[in-house]
Amino acid sequence: MPCYKTVPVIIQGIFPMLHDLYLMTKKNGLAATKAYVKSNEQARANFHKLWTDALMALFWLAIIKLLFGTNYEEFKKTMKDNPVYENALTELLYKAESSSYSQSLGPLNIM
The pLDDT value recorded for residue 30 is: 92
DSSP state of 8: -
Q: Closest Cα to residue 11, out of 59, 54, 46?
A: 46
The pLDDT value recorded for residue 103 is: 55
| Most confident by average pLDDT, 1-10, 31-40, 100-109 | 31-40
Rounded Cα distance, 33 and 13, in Å:
17
For the stretch 29-84, pLDDT in tens is: 999 999 998 898 888 888 888 888 888 878 877 777 777 666 777 777 777 888 88
